[in-house]
Every structure is written in C-alpha cells, then in structure tokens.
C-alpha cells in the first residue's frame, strides 16, 4: 500500500530550512553564556516562540492545501498536524521528567544541563527521523502492522497506568555498565567537556554518560510516540513535521518544568489513558474510523483534566 501524502520535495526543503535556522538560533540564544543558568522567563519566551512557529507552519499548510486542493482536505491535514503535535508534546513532557531524574542522580550542575540537552535533542532528531522512515515503510508494506501498533500502545498505556512513578536502577543499567567496562570515566565534571585527555589517554566525563542516557531514554519513549502518531495519520509528511516540531522546543520546555516536576504527579495517568485510547483507535479502525476532531478533543481534554487535578492535589500539600 502506497501511503498518500500532501508533502512535496520543496515543502520538505522549506521545513528543513526552518528547522536548521531555529536550531542555530536556539543554540546561540537560549542561555548563550556557558556559565549562566537559563532563566524561567527566558525559557518561557522561547517555548512560546517554538509553539508559535509550529502553529504558523500549520497555518501556512492549511492555506497552501486549501488553494491546491480544497478546504476539506486542508482542514483535515491541519487538524492531523495539530493532533500529532499535541500528542507528541504531551508524551515528551513525561520524557522530560525522566531527564530531571537523570540530572539529579548524576548531580549535573544546572549550568551544564543546557549543553547536554542541545546535543541530546539534536541526536533525538536524527533517531526520530530514522524511526519515522522505518515506521512509514512498515505501514506502507504491511498495513496490518497498525493493529500491532494498537496492541502495543494499549499494553504500554496499561503498564504506565500501573506504574506509580518513574523507577529503575540506574547504577545497574546496561548502558552505564557498558561504558564503565569499555571506557575510562572521570570521577568529576570537567566543565562542559564530554572528553578530556589525562596522561595522554582519552577519558569520558560524567557529562557524556548523561548524554548517552538522554539518547537511550528518548529512544525508549520514541517506541511509544512513533506508533501513536501513525494512529493520528499515515501521511508521512504530517507525521514527520508534527513530530519534529514537537521535539524542537523541548530544551526550553525542560527549564520551565525542571522545578515543577512534582506538581504534575497525575499527568502520567493522563498520558496512560491517551495511549490506551490511541491503541483502541487503531484496533477498531476496520470497523470505525474515528473523526480527527474527536481524537483531538479527547487528547486535549484528558491532558487538561490531569494537569488541573495534579495542580489541585499538590496545592493541598503545600
């Protein structure tokens, strides 16, 4: 089955130019001074900038498709983009809370966290791109794999719902065992360096170890998010652009949420419900094609309820 797409080569070119320019600006503007902490105000401004750019891209997509095809197709694709963007953004928040845990465990100084995040997100862009291409290829060749995606998402949602908090023995994690066995790791941080020379030999710093954990963590979360976006749309262009735009603003979003991780303890359950909903949507697609507005409304509604409930619950503890 050939996947239908509204994307054209030149549209991908425009998208890549936007991404490259914004990554460059993000690297040199968000906490550009290496020895300073990114303020919440600065992070909030950049989060708004990232979201605005994504919405402007979606608006442009709507008008272009409306002119080339018709208003119905333009509306459908714009809603698919918006739903995919919100879905990926919400799942990424849970990912960021794991980042908070990793930074705390490895005692990463706040001023060095932004360097790890920019490289981590850059790596995530590459990994997500590869996984989306693989996912699109599989769906194109084997349409039945969408049912497998649905069953997996349903299972992941149930598993997430049963897990009360992020857990895991980092010390005995395979990644850190592999690094310690095959590389020399310094005991202390050496500024923002990932590698240092000691007595003529190359050592890796704890900051590089954290970077590896960030990449592995994102890869694990992508296993949930990539199948989820294919439940929203099988258009490769919409899948790719909405997913990448959602990832791009994560560094700024992290510095907003870093000090508020404990305020959203019920968000995890909301995400679990969303994953189960998306899973069921895929499993019943042969009998019922769920309207995109219903999917969008459900995702936004569950997120809003879980966030409001979290804030009310934690405010009672203060």
Closest listed residue to residue 128, CA positions, set 267, 229, 231, 255: 229
Closest listed residue to residue 210, CA positions, set 128, 90, 118: 118
Instruction: Summarize pLDDT for 35-45 with one digit per residue, the tens.
Output: 566 777 888 88
The yes-or-no verdict on residue 316 having pLDDT over 60 is: yes
Indicate the pTM of the whole model.
0.84
Average per-residue pLDDT for the chain: 83
Could you count the other beta carbons within 10 Å of the beta carbon of residue 170? 12
CA separation for the pair 87, 278 (Å, rounded): 10
Using an 8 Å Cβ cutoff, are 229 and 299 in contact? no
Percent share of the chain, pLDDT over 70: 90
The yes-or-no verdict on residue 179 having pLDDT over 80 is: no
Instruction: Summarize pLDDT for 95-144 with one digit per residue, the tens.
Output: 787 788 788 878 888 888 888 888 888 888 888 888 888 888 888 888 78
The pLDDT of residue 175 is 66
Q: Where are the domains of the chain?
A: 9-317
Instruction: Summarize pLDDT for 284-306 with one digit per residue, the tens.
Output: 888 888 888 888 889 889 888 98
What does each C-alpha distance from 61 to 24, 77, 78, 242, 297 come to in angstroms?
Answer: 23, 8, 7, 12, 21
Strand 201-204 to 195-198 pairing: antiparallel
């Amino acid at each position: 089955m050939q996947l239908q797409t509204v994307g054209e080569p030149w549209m991908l070119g425009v998208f890549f130019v936007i991404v490259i320019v914004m990554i460059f600006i993000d690297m040199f503007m968000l906490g550009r001074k290496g020895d300073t902490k990114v303020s919440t105000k600065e992070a909030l401004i950049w989060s708004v900038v990232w979201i605005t750019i994504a919405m402007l891209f979606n608006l442009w997509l709507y008008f272009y498709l409306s002119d080339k095809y018709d208003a119905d197709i333009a509306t459908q694709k714009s809603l698919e983009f918006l739903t995919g963007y919100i879905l990926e953004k919400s799942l990424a928040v849970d990912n960021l809370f794991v980042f908070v845990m990793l930074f705390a465990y490895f005692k990463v100084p706040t001023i060095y966290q932004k360097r790890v995040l920019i490289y981590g997100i850059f790596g995530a862009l590459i990994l997500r791109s590869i996984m989306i291409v693989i996912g699109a290829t599989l769906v194109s060749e084997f349409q039945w794999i969408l049912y497998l995606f649905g069953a997996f998402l349903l299972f992941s949602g149930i598993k997430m719902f049963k897990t009360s908090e992020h857990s895991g023995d980092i010390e005995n994690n395979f990644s850190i065992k592999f690094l310690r066995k095959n590389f020399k790791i310094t005991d202390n941080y050496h500024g923002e360096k990932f590698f240092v020379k000691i007595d003529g030999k190359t050592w890796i710093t704890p900051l590089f170890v954290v970077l590896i954990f960030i990449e592995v963590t994102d890869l694990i979360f992508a296993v949930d998010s990539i199948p989820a976006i294919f439940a929203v749309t099988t258009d490769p262009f919409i899948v790719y652009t909405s997913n990448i735009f959602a990832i791009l603003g994560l560094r700024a979003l992290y510095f907003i949420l870093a000090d508020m991780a404990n305020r959203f303890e019920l968000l995890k359950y909301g995400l679990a419900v969303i994953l189960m909903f998306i899973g069921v949507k895929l499993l019943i697609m042969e009998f019922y094609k769920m309207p995109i507005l219903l999917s969008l409304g459900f995702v936004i509604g569950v997120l809003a309820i879980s966030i409001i409930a979290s804030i009310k619950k934690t405010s009672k503890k203060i």
